[in-house]
Amino acid sequence: MVLSFGETPLANALLSAAQLDQPEDRLPLDLAFCPSCSLLQILETVPPERLFRHYYYFSSFSRTVLQQAKQVATRMIQTRNLGPESFVIEIGSNDGYLLQYYRRRGVPVLGVEPAVNVASVAEGERGVRTLCEFFGRELGQRLREQGGLADVFHANNVLAHVADLNGAVAGMRSVLKENGVAVIEVPYVKEMLDRCEFDTIYHEHLCYFSLTALDRLFVRHGLVIENVERLAIHGGSLRLFVAPEKSARRRPEVAALLEEEAVWGVDRLEAYQGFGGRVERVKVRLGELLRELVGQGSRLVAYGAAAKGATLLNYCGIGRDLIEFVVDHTTHKQGHYMPGVHLPIYPPGKLLETMPDYAILLAWNFIDEILEQAAEYRRRGGRFIIPIPEPRVLAR
Ligand code: DWN
């Protein structure tokens, strides 16, 4: 055990007004390290049907995400010389935020997205053919039998959500062409530890990956990580290029990062044991800061009804005694309430309407994009509070 959050509500289980006075499920959220496979993981597996069949997270609500998606699609089209004869699959394809860029260039695509409400946006608004299913060994085999082998297979911020990791990776191997490549993005555990990003821990995220743990996972299924890149997105991520072992050509960057991980002790419990203490210090310091401001008569709100925001607010005990409401530009979230703390979610316009003194930035991973959008709020004297790694009030 590395850190226990106790029993917490599901981070994306936003509530309607009618649900506020009904009992709310809380489940154990405990972070543990496995010494045999070097995987940091939570101990509770919530059935995926419950977490992902109806989903409030739409990737296209972030310009940063869209920019990065367009960039990688353009790069893969060029470097793999993709065209009308090619085929690109994405699992966790969400609202078509990535596959739309392949489709616009005439490359046949297939999305796999279990959330019914999100898959319908991909199909309805972006014309991206989407299977509304969970991806795994069985679907991978079925797609192979149907002849749909992929030149490129994307999985962005998906693997951490998959309970049957081995089944998903076996499925990936099934649908990849022999000279195909899987491009996989995952939040990087080293960034989470170093920047104390404890709010990214919630029931959807079963695993917190290192390259070492992923290397062991892929090798088990005849896949080789041939390249790895560090990305800034989502608080620091890895982008892996994974190919069937026969065609894979491993670049030195992979060995270099594996070596770096061995140096900091990725496969030893000691590397993770200090994390809990640092999280506790952030929790105390953030509570002190917010209470001090409210004690001075300041009014506080939150910005970004992010899943990570639910972990932060609930674990730090930050509720309506300190925060009046949350603003978020995801239309599907507006009018709902944050799980556990029951903070109402309004459109960002509410900020200027009410001009609270401070806004705690729950979606800190999009700080540039959000500060730009909130320029008028800041011009009028509103100030942002950045909660991690060290709670601080942003200078005007
Ligand atoms: O892995 C996951 C990541 C990729 O996305 C999923 N498990 C769920 C989700 O996590 P999250 O909800 O913490 O993600 P975000 O994208 O960091 O949440 C940002 C929130 O802020 C969204 O609700 C949208 C909102 N937002 C906004 O109001 N204005 C975002 C931007 C960029 C903005 O300008």
Going 81 to 87 to 89 to 93, the CA torsion angle's sign is positive
The Cα 82–Cα 181 span in angstroms is 12
Indicate if 22 and 92 belong to the same structural domain.
no
The Cα 106–Cα 97 span in angstroms is 16
Q: Assess whether the previous peptide bond of 23 is cis (omega < 30° from 0).
A: no
Indicate if 189 and 241 belong to the same structural domain.
yes
Residue at a domain's end among 188, 222, 255? 255
Residue 297, domain extent: 3-32+274-393
The Cα 232–Cα 269 span in angstroms is 26
Indicate if 84 and 21 belong to the same structural domain.
no
The Cα 315–Cα 321 span in angstroms is 15
| pTM summary value | 0.97
Would residue 262 count as lying in a domain?
no
Indicate if 338 and 387 belong to the same structural domain.
yes
The Cα 45–Cα 110 span in angstroms is 28
Counting beta carbons within 10 angstroms of the beta carbon of residue 392, is it exposed (0 to 12), middle (13 to 18) or buried (19 or more)? middle
| Residue showing tokens 């316009």 | 349
Testing ligand 1's pocket by substitution, the residue of 14, 51, 57 carrying the most ligand atoms inside 8 A of its CB is 57
Number of domains the chain contains: 2
Indicate if 225 and 350 belong to the same structural domain.
no
Indicate if 167 and 124 belong to the same structural domain.
yes
Residue at a domain's end among 222, 255, 288? 255
Indicate if 235 and 90 belong to the same structural domain.
yes
Determine phi and psi for 130, rounding to 5 degrees. Answer: -135, 125
Would residue 341 count as lying in a domain?
yes
Tell me if 239 CB under 6 Å of ligand 1. Answer: no
Indicate if 222 and 117 belong to the same structural domain.
yes
Among candidates 221, 205, 198, 111, which has minimal Cα distance to 163? 205
Indicate if 114 and 46 belong to the same structural domain.
yes
Measured from the CA of 205, which atom of ligand 1 is nearest? Answer: 7
Indicate if 28 and 50 belong to the same structural domain.
no
| pLDDT for position 148 | 87
Mean pLDDT by 10 residues, the chain (396 residues): 97 98 97 94 97 97 97 98 98 98 98 98 98 98 96 98 97 98 98 98 98 97 98 97 96 98 97 96 98 98 98 97 98 98 98 98 97 97 97 93
Tell me if 306 CB under 6 Å of ligand 1. Answer: yes
Would residue 185 count as lying in a domain?
yes
Would residue 265 count as lying in a domain?
no
Indicate if 66 and 203 belong to the same structural domain.
yes
Indicate if 288 and 376 belong to the same structural domain.
yes
Residue whose CA lies nearest to ligand 1 atom number 10: 307
Measured from the CA of 202, which atom of ligand 1 is nearest? Answer: 7
